[in-house]
């Protein structure tokens, strides 16, 4: 994700996340994988006390005509700031934009081993982040 600052695995097997979130600034949380069926499904949830409580699932399917793998993501989270944070997230389309950008970057990384960037090309088009929420 463009706004995802860092993800690392600690010595207890928990994933440590740092992200820049519109309005809330930088958030940190820990998550754990609660189900891992290699090549089929991964399910995770944040640990108690997370600044961004969330739960997610990735499901992998064979694409038609053996054209690779299709990935379906389900992600639920509670934005910081209570009801106001929820309204801001919905108004900015923050979850949809963040997930779309993250999946696009992951697809590029998985297929080519790198994430294409036009950051140093002044004539380049910007990422499709119409609200500027993830800069």
Dihedral angle sign, alpha carbons of residues 119, 124, 128, 132: positive
Burial of 106 (0-12, 13-18, 19+ CB in 10 A): middle
What does the pLDDT read at residue 23?
60
What does the pLDDT read at residue 22?
62
Residue numbers in the chain where pLDDT is lower than 70: 1-5, 21-24, 79-96, 98, 119, 121-135
Asked whether the whole model's pTM tops 0.75, one would answer: no
- Number of C-beta neighbours around residue 90 at 10 A: 12
What does the pLDDT read at residue 84?
61
Could you state, in order of their start, the residue ranges of all structural domains in the chain? 31-112
- Cβ distance 112 to 106 under 8 Å? no
- The rounded distance, in Å, linking the Cα atoms of 10 and 15 is 6
Q: Identify any residues that bridge with 29 across adjacent strands, giving them in sequence order.
A: 17
What does the pLDDT read at residue 68?
87
């Amino acid at each position: 994700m463009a706004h995802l600052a860092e993800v690392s695995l600690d010595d207890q097997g928990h994933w440590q996340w740092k992200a820049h979130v519109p309005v809330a600034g930088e958030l940190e949380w820990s998550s754990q994988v609660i189900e891992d069926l290699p090549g089929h499904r991964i399910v995770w949830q944040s640990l108690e006390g997370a600044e961004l409580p969330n739960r997610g699932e990735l499901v992998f399917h064979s694409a038609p005509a053996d054209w690779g793998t299709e990935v379906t993501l389900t992600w639920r989270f509670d934005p910081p700031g209570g009801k106001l944070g929820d309204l801001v997230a919905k108004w900015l389309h923050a979850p949809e934009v963040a997930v779309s950008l993250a999946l696009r970057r992951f697809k590029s990384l998985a297929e080519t081993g790198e994430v294409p960037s036009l950051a140093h090309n002044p004539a380049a088009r910007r990422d499709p982040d119409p609200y500027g929420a993830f800069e």
